[in-house]
């Protein structure tokens, strides 16, 4: 199946990153969200990220211009899904929200179109039930930041066809990504391993075993992780980490997946990481060189 025209539903951090990636690799992109304010902010972010690539000589000025030209904004989901070959939803990690989006994707996109989810933990097989094309529903889990990270985790639902998998593998390679296939299981592979590790780092911090700086440096220097788990939690968003832990805890019915009380408190207090300006680190002065968040400074160990 030839895929040329794509729709990206949701223009947040992951959505605009996915739109950026498709447009940079010669796909026409309909970027869909509920308001022009959100869409304009998304395009500003895409422009900033393109400028970073340009500064590092990763792209040319012509490629930057053409990338932006290939993206069309839509606040009407029906219009945005007309004549697309592929649509991916990148909305909040809620089954209630996603099932409504999948119903609309199925109703408004051509019958030939493949429908994908960028979900971090929700069952692809369950999302497929809200369509009349279960064989064409698949998980396509991009990593953040999308233009940089080389992996796409491909999730095969119970009724996802081999043809759909092949098409999405080829599509991933056209984006210069490596597709790796996993079965439909809570958290898949990436988040089933990663998010509990982050949760355990948060729990160790809450118990006073060590500080933010020390925990992150131990994992960087001792385990060769490029980023410590607490800094990574801020990048992902603590609210997203909490949502995934709740799904794992509910689906596996095992308390080893129980969210840390500190994680719950941070989210309730709106300390959700980079997007809020503060999480375990304080990004309000410098996003690239943050300081330890005030509440975690000078803790005695």
* Catalytic residue set: 120, 141, 153, 191
Q: Could you give the 3-state DSSP secondary structure of residue 293?
A: coil
Q: Which residues of 122-158 are buried (b: 16+ CB within 10 A; e: fewer)?
A: bbbbebbebbebbebbbbbbbbeebbeeeebbbbbbe
**DSSP secondary structure letter of residue 256:** G
Q: Could you give the 3-state DSSP secondary structure of residue 64?
A: helix
Give the pairing of strands 137-142 and 151-156: antiparallel
H or E stretch at 73: strand 71-74
Complete DSSP assignment for 94-145 = -HHHHHHHHHHHHHHS-TT-EEEE--SSS-HHHHHTTSS-GGGEEEEEE-SS
Q: Could you give the 3-state DSSP secondary structure of residue 154?
A: strand
Phi-psi region of 88 (alpha: psi -120 to 50; beta: other; left: phi over 0): beta
Structure tokens at 247: 């799904």
Around Cβ 274, how many Cβ atoms within 10 Å? 18
């Amino acid at each position: 199946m030839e895929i040329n025209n794509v729709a990206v539903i949701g223009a947040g951090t992951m959505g605009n990153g996915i739109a950026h990636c498709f447009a940079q690799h010669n796909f026409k992109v309909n970027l869909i969200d509920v308001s022009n304010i959100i869409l304009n902010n998304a395009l500003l972010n895409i422009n900033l990220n393109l400028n970073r690539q340009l500064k590092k000589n990763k792209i040319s000025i012509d490629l930057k211009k053409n990338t932006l030209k290939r993206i069309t904004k839509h606040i009407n989901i029906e219009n945005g899904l007309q004549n697309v070959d592929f649509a991916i939803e990148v909305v909040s990690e809620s089954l209630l929200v996603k099932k409504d989006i999948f119903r609309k994707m199925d109703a408004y996109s051509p019958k030939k179109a493949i429908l994908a989810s960028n979900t971090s933990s929700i069952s692809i097989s369950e999302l497929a039930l809200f369509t009349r094309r279960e064989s064409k529903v698949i998980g396509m889990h991009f990593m953040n930041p999308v233009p940089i990270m080389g992996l796409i985790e491909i999730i095969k639902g119970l009724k996802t066809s081999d043809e759909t998998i092949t098409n999405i593998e080829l599509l991933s390679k056209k984006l210069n990504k490596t597709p790796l296939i996993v079965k439909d299981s809570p958290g898949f592979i990436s988040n089933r391993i990663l998010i509990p590790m982050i949760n355990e780092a948060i729990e160790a911090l809450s118990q006073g075993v060590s500080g933010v700086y020390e925990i992150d440096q131990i994992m960087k220097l001792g385990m060769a992780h490029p980023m410590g788990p607490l800094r990574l939690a801020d990048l992902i968003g603590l609210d997203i980490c909490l949502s995934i832990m709740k799904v794992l805890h509910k689906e596996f019915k095992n308390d080893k997946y129980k969210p840390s009380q500190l994680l719950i408190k941070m989210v309730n207090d709106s300390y959700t990481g980079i997007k809020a300006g503060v999480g375990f680190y304080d990004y309000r002065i410098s996003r690239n060189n943050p300081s330890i968040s005030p509440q975690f400074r000078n803790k005695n160990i």
